[in-house]
Structure 1
Amino acid sequence: MKDYQKLLVVIDPTTDKQAAVARAVELAEKNGAAITVFLSIYDFSYEMTSMLSTQEREAMRKGVIEQRIAWLTDVLAEYQGRGISIDSEVVWHNRPFESIINHAIAGGYDLIVKGTHEHDKFKAVIFTPTDWHLMRKSPIPVLLVKEHGWQVGGKILCAVNVASEDPEHQSLNGKIIEHAQELAKKFGAEVHLVNGYPGTPVNLAIELPDFDAHTYNESIRMQHEQRVDYLATAYGIAAEHCHVKEGLPEDVIPELASHLDAELVILGTVGRTGLSAALIGNTAEHVIDSLNCDLLAIKPEGYKSPLADA
């Protein structure tokens, strides 16, 4: 993987404490990366003020943007004089995730960094949060930042999918590990692999009286362990840093991350859209609210964002 040389940091306009900026600065200090802080704003009331002319509405938008630029200057003041290149960009756009992804693609950024928080799971099915849109549609890796600090000698947890021998899945596993190892070098961290495998289907045990659930379960476990061991060997990861556990990934990953007190979880995410995305979602979307650490979501090689054709 190429190094993170250009970071696009998404600003949260509701708070002065910007966890994403702080994390981006940590990354930039390790490799001299350039940072652009990005804010997408929109106020529907300005567009609906029929008594104002087009020029007057434009002047109002410009005024709001200038106010936000001044606010950003204050927010970023504490990072001045640290030898880091930090620029800012404020745009008027009614779909924040779209403006973020388009700006990141156009600017050739290597990483999108954004603060996150727990979402209302019921509303999220109807009003999908910007975080979820970014994970689904951004071809560029997305780092979602929480308050958990990155300690020297910490742990980076790679969620790998070994249930399929599909080349795309295997390639994505490799990409996840490569990102982890690059970050581990800079922060002196350990790289761990985690994989969840399904338990014995209850209906099989009920419908087939002679079905040996224990033997079946052991066979699945051994198959997953062998594939994880193969990955670990290929990338020089110690056997004691491999964790294969029974259960759904959305349960296994947060549990292990908490147990290890991991600083970062890295996983792959597909660009599912439409009804299937709303009802099923991705592992990343199920995991994010259960993690107390950062999440780095990575797309398969060659993924093309649906926004590229928009």
Structure 2
Amino acid sequence: MEKILVNIDFKQDSAALLTKAARLALQHNARVELFCCCYNRSIKHGYLFDKAEEQKAEHAYVRQIESRLEALCQGLQVEGVEAEFDACWNRHTGEGVVRKVLRYQPDLLLHPVAPHSRIGHYLFAPVDWQIARKCPVPVLFVKNTPWPDHCRIVACIDPLHEGDQRALLDRELLSRSRGFVGDEFTELRVLHCYNTLPHEAIFDEHVVTDYEALQDRVEKTHLSTCNGILEEFGLSSDSYLVDIIKGEADLTISNYARHNQVDIVAMGAVARSVLDRWLVGSTMEYVVDHVDCDVLIVKHPDFVCPVAE
């Protein structure tokens, strides 16, 4: 990890965000750039007939934001972090942040996240979800919960996902999660959740009579598939760092994070249609909304960013 981009939202408290950015930067000897995508509706609509004055007002507003970023930068530099800052004028914050990512090419984006309204996140696509869906580099959604001296990160893998037969996303997820691990800094755990066919959903009498055998085959398939990936990272399902649990992914991950004092949940982002998200929701969105810890979102290696620089 060489470059970290931190998205600053001055409507939120940035103390926890900057503390975590500094900790990661010092651990990896990485550079940090603070970025703010700013826009003021009053300026945009206050100079309808004077374009030159409107541009002057925009530049003055951006300079104000830059001065605030510079002050935050100086705080990081005092801690020994190599830090810079940048600001741009863009009414579409999500795309503005993604375009900055395309220009700066960071290894990680830190983004502050606040609670969402369920209607808002489906109909109006808040900035958080736009960034989660479109950002080509891993995104760490940062909350105000502080990190302890010894952090715990759990990578949530799904090697039997039908859209990723070679489990490339899980390998990328484990690699990125391992990148957070340092001496006395982070413990990496692995979680896999799976479902089996409910007994009441089986209508074939031959299958009903052999239901336990069917369950056993499903469990063995999940175990063997997980182990095939885990052994590449020196792990196995027998390790105390690995948990394979039967249950719905969204609820299981949220409960696991709460009961195991997890500090970062790492998940792969899987593309879904708007209709799918409206009808069945998204595991990623549910987890981000329902855990108190930070959430790391990792894209598939073949992901193509839909935003042009």
Taking structure 2 as the reference length, the TM-score comes to 0.90
Flag the 1:59–1:252 CA change in 2: closer, same or farther, 3 A: same
Mapped partners of 1:53, 1:188: distance in 2 = 55
Which region of structure 1 is more displaced relative to structure 2, 222-231 or 170-179?
222-231
Aligned-residue offset at 1:295: 0.9
Q: Does the Cα contact within 8 Å between 2:37 and 2:87 map onto a contact in 1? A: yes
Aligned residue for 2:304, secondary structure, equals coil
Q: Which residue of 2 aligns with 1:306?
A: 306
Aligned ranges 1:208-227 → 2 under 5 Å: 208=204, 211=208, 212-227=210-225
Mapped partners of 1:88, 1:186: distance in 2 = 29
Q: Which residue of 2 aligns with 1:190?
A: 187
Mapped partners of 2:13, 2:307: distance in 1 = 30
Superposed CA RMSD in Å reads 2.3
Answering whether residue 234 of structure 2 is matched by residue 236 of structure 1, we say yes
Aligned residue for 2:12, secondary structure, equals coil
Which region of structure 1 is more displaced relative to structure 2, 278-287 or 35-44?
278-287
Mapped partners of 1:152, 1:55: distance in 2 = 52
Mapped partners of 1:109, 1:269: distance in 2 = 18
Q: Which residue of 2 aligns with 1:49?
A: 46
The gaps in structure 1 that reach 5 residues or longer are: none
**Which of 145, 150, 166 is matched with 2:147 structurally?**
150
Aligned residue for 1:302, secondary structure, equals coil
Aligned ranges 1:164-183 → 2 under 5 Å: 164=161, 170-183=167-180
Q: Which residue of 2 aligns with 1:118?
A: 115
What amino acid is aligned across from residue 231 of structure 1 in structure 2?
Answer: I
What amino acid is aligned across from residue 230 of structure 2 in structure 1?
Answer: A
Q: Does the Cα contact within 8 Å between 1:21 and 1:37 map onto a contact in 2? A: no
Mapped partners of 1:51, 1:142: distance in 2 = 38
The gaps in structure 2 that reach 5 residues or longer are: none
Aligned ranges 1:36-185 → 2 under 5 Å: 36-164=33-161, 170-185=167-182
Which region of structure 1 is more displaced relative to structure 2, 102-111 or 64-73?
64-73
Aligned-residue offset at 1:298: 0.7
Q: Does the Cα contact within 8 Å between 1:200 and 1:213 map onto a contact in 2? A: no
Mapped partners of 1:109, 1:186: distance in 2 = 23
Aligned residue for 2:196, secondary structure, equals coil
What amino acid is aligned across from residue 76 of structure 2 in structure 1?
Answer: Y
Answering whether residue 280 of structure 2 is matched by residue 283 of structure 1, we say no
Aligned-residue offset at 1:15: 3.1
Aligned-residue offset at 1:294: 1.1
Aligned-residue offset at 1:6: 1.0
Deviations 1:214-260 (A, max 9, x none): 43333322221222233222211252221111112111111111121
Q: Does the Cα contact within 8 Å between 2:8 and 2:34 map onto a contact in 1? A: yes
Q: Which residue of 1 aligns with 2:252?
A: 252
Which region of structure 1 is more displaced relative to structure 2, 275-284 or 254-263?
275-284
Q: Does the Cα contact within 8 Å between 1:272 and 1:281 map onto a contact in 2? A: no
- Over 6 Å off, 4+ runs: none
What amino acid is aligned across from residue 182 of structure 1 in structure 2?
Answer: G
Flag the 1:74–1:303 CA change in 2: closer, same or farther, 3 A: same
Mapped partners of 2:177, 2:271: distance in 1 = 21
Mapped partners of 1:203, 1:44: distance in 2 = 56
Mapped partners of 2:43, 2:252: distance in 1 = 47
Flag the 1:168–1:27 CA change in 2: closer, same or farther, 3 A: farther
Q: Does the Cα contact within 8 Å between 1:161 and 1:169 map onto a contact in 2? A: no
Aligned-residue offset at 1:269: 0.4
Aligned residue for 1:185, secondary structure, equals coil
Q: Which residue of 1 aligns with 2:201?
A: 204
Mapped partners of 1:182, 1:75: distance in 2 = 26
Mapped partners of 2:183, 2:99: distance in 1 = 29
Aligned-residue offset at 1:168: 5.5
Q: For this pair of structures, how many residues does the alignment match?
A: 305
Aligned residue for 2:266, secondary structure, equals strand
Aligned residue for 1:128, secondary structure, equals coil
Mapped partners of 2:69, 2:21: distance in 1 = 15
Deviations 1:20-49 (A, max 9, x none): 222111110012211111111112232223
Taking structure 1 as the reference length, the TM-score comes to 0.89
Deviations 1:74-117 (A, max 9, x none): 34443232221111111110111101111111122111111112
